[in-house]
Amino acid sequence: MRLKSEIWVKAYVRRSASAGRQAYVVRHGDDDAGAIYIRINRLDGTSLLYGPAPASLSGLETDRRWVAHFKGEARADAEVDGMLEREARTDPDLWIVEVEARDGAHGLEGWLTDL
């Protein structure tokens, strides 16, 4: 059994703050099982985006994993906004956490997966 979304998000926000990065819950999703998207705002008009890994990957029943969108490259904020808006239309229970990090640091080491 994996952690509820709300608990994971609260821990991630605290962990980000302890690393000197401001993190905000931009959209509050379902407390128990909402998908979590993490946006790294580079404060220069671009952002990185990480979303939940596909459910077909093994180990996801007990642990969360993320994949980098846009091949891990920073994109214009408007492009990232558009993608998140589309995702929210199809999944109203999703979470969006935004982290301010000029250097692109995400704090997801050990949770990222390659597809």
Judged on CB neighbours under 10 Å (0-12, 13-18, 19+), 41 is: buried
pLDDT of residue 113: 79
CA angle 84, 61, 21 (to 5 degrees): 45
Q: Is the pLDDT of residue 1 over 70?
A: no
CA angle 25, 88, 51 (to 5 degrees): 65
pLDDT of residue 57: 60
- In whole angstroms, give the CA distance from residue 55 to residue 72: 20
Provide the mean pLDDT of the chain.
Answer: 91
User: What domains can you pick out in the chain, each with its CATH number?
Assistant: 5-100 (3.40.1530.20)
Q: Rounded to two decimals, what is the model's pTM?
A: 0.90
Residue-wise pLDDT for 63-85, tens only, equals 788 999 999 999 999 999 999 99
